Structure 1
Amino acid sequence: MREQIYKVVKKAEPGDVISKYYDVFIMVVAFISVCPLMFKESNSMLVMIDTITVYILFTDYIFNWITYDYKIKKDSPWVFVAYPFTPFALIDLVSILPSLGLLGAGFRILRVLRVFKVLYYSKTFSYVANVFKNERKTLGYVLIIALAYIFVSALAMFAYEPDTFDNFFEALYWATTALTTVGYGDVYPVTEVGRLISMISSLFGIAVIAMPAGVVTAGFMDEIGRAKELERLEKASTQGTPADMARS
């Protein structure tokens, strides 16, 4: 019984029609479940939508929990203890609990995390996740450079214009917006030297931001290329080689 459930709830593979329909169904339910958050005031219709969708998502959570041993291919009771602490299981549970009344109204915003359910079944998200996994060292180095640059920029600005910022955290906030070239304009330098520091920070910020963007883009294109090649090989193996077709 559990094996049959697993074949349905697992992420669909090529040719797995039932599992594919189930994936689409859960994605649609997850999207509909966040629609009530688009309205300021609730009504009976929105409450009904939230109630129905949350119980469907909770059932999906239970199905994935009781079949987790099939997913990781380990026959041990400890896998069922480990499942609630896996990243996606935690996200699922935290996003469901507010609608079940197990968390206060202040945690209503956590329902937004149900969007990750849509991303989980998305091929594009799988590609991006693989890119971050494969390029984690390079992206880690870039992150260190970015954090160091933010800290140095904030320190320089805070040291030269202490009256512009209420505290050092506000200087870090300014440096982050300058690095990402967002520039909200709520905090800005007022002296000539401060503006020069801001200009330099913004120019170097473009280069720092471009580095991870280039790494992710290149990795994403590689993932798409590998996926297309794998799909081509699967089709070739299914249809058979020209020699096999000639013999048949």
Structure 2
Amino acid sequence: MRQTIYSIISVEGRASIWAKCYDGMMIGVILLSLLPLMSKGTSPIMTGIEQIVAIIFAFDYLLRLATADFYLKKGSLSFWLYPLTFLALIDAISFLAALPLVNNSFRLLKVFRLIRSLRVFKIFRYSKNIQLIVTVLRKQSESLLLVAVFALAYIFISALVMFNLEPHQFHQFLDALYWATVTLTTIGYGDLVPQTDWGKLLTIFSSIIGIGVVALPAGIITAGYLEEITAREK
């Protein structure tokens, strides 16, 4: 029976009609669970939704815990290790945040309710496309990390140069970092702008560099995505 349950709730069993139905139902429940977070205050309807969703999430968590040995493949140790995995923690938070103890008793713990928005990460379990993107990000992590290091280094250097070029315009280094970030990402809010010619030239150069920096991750992810799709089709 546990093997049958695992074949329905696991990634490996998604070819079966029961697994697809379970995935579709859970995605719907996840989206439904976000409704209470979109409304101010409480109402009987939203409270009912919250309680029903919490029960379903708790049941899903128990099913996954009961079949943890099939997932982690570490024997009885799997039942102790599974609750510490990332997605298991998200699952636990998803239903624990709806407990009356958290919602009604302790004011400080009400901050914990905000963590309910992490429920959206549960969709990672049930979407093949999202899991494909996660796989691509994992395989291209070195290239993406290199781009991120280059971008952060350039932001710091350009901010340092601008901070010394126009100390009257940028009163603290954080202002220069803010300007460098919004310029490199080509957002350019315009609330902090250089006044000198050298400052304007640096802004032009940073904006041009920013186009390439923003395009690089998109190109890397797209190439990795196509490569992964081709490999899976073969």
TM-score category, normalised to shorter length? 0.7 to 0.9
Give 1:52 shift: 0.7
CA gap 1:226/1:113 in 2 versus in 1, 3 angstroms: same
Give 1:164 shift: 3.0
Q: TM-score, normalised by structure 2?
A: 0.87
Q: Gaps (5+ residues) in structure 1? A: 231-248
Give 1:48's aligned residue. 48
Contact 2:155 2:177 survives alignment (8 Å):
yes
Give 1:70's aligned residue. 70
**Letter of the 2:151 counterpart:** A
Q: TM-score, normalised by structure 1?
A: 0.83
CA gap 1:162/1:59 in 2 versus in 1, 3 angstroms: farther
Pairs within 5 Å for 1:26-37:
26-37=26-37
Contact 2:57 2:94 survives alignment (8 Å):
no
Distance 1:209 1:41 in 2: 40
Residues 1:4 and 2:38 aligned together:
no
Give the total of aligned pairs. 228
Q: Secondary structure at the match of 1:46?
A: helix
Give 1:20 shift: 1.6
Q: Secondary structure at the match of 1:41?
A: coil
1:158-210 deviation per Cα after TM superposition (whole angstroms, max 9, x unaligned): 22223433532332222222111122333333333222222211110111121
Give 2:190's aligned residue. 185
Distance 1:84 1:71 in 2: 12
Distance 2:189 2:96 in 1: 35
Give 1:90's aligned residue. 89
Distance 2:112 2:190 in 1: 31
Contact 1:150 1:176 survives alignment (8 Å):
yes
Q: Secondary structure at the match of 2:76?
A: coil
- Using the TM superposition, name which of 96-105 and 117-126 deviates more: 96-105
Give 1:151's aligned residue. 156
Distance 2:189 2:64 in 1: 43
Give 1:205's aligned residue. 210
Q: Gaps (5+ residues) in structure 2? A: 103-107
Q: Secondary structure at the match of 2:34?
A: helix
Residues 1:220 and 2:220 aligned together:
no
Distance 2:168 2:66 in 1: 59
Distance 1:133 1:15 in 2: 24
CA gap 1:167/1:87 in 2 versus in 1, 3 angstroms: farther
Q: Secondary structure at the match of 1:169?
A: helix
